[in-house]
Chains A and B, each alone.
Chain A
Amino acid sequence: MVRVVLRALSAWRLIWRLRGGLLPLTMTKLVEWLVGVSLVLVVWAVVSFDLLELSLPPSYREVAWPMPLYLLVSFGCFSLATVGYRVATFNDCEDAAKELREHIREAKEDLRKKGLKM
Chain B
Amino acid sequence: MATGVDQAAGMSLVVFSLVLFTYYSVWVIILPFVARDHFLHKYFLPREYSVILPGVAAIILLICVGAFAAVVLWKNRKPKKSD
Contact = CB atoms under 8 A, between A and B. Distances in A.
Contact of A72 (B7, B12, B18, B54): B54
Interface stretch (B19-27, B37-45, B65-73, B75-83): B19-27
A78 B51 CA distance: 19
A80 interface: yes
Interface residues of B, number: 26
Which secondary structure dominates where chain A touches chain B?
helix
Given A70-B29, A87-B10, A78 B17 contact: yes
Given A77-B17, A77-B18, A88-B11, 11 more contacts: A62-B47, A72-B54, A73-B20, A73-B21, A73-B24, A77-B20, A81-B13, A84-B13, A89-B2, A90-B10, A91-B2
* Listed residue (A83, A84, A86, A89) with the most chain B CB atoms within 10 angstroms of its CB: A84
B17 A80 contact: yes
B10 A86 contact: yes
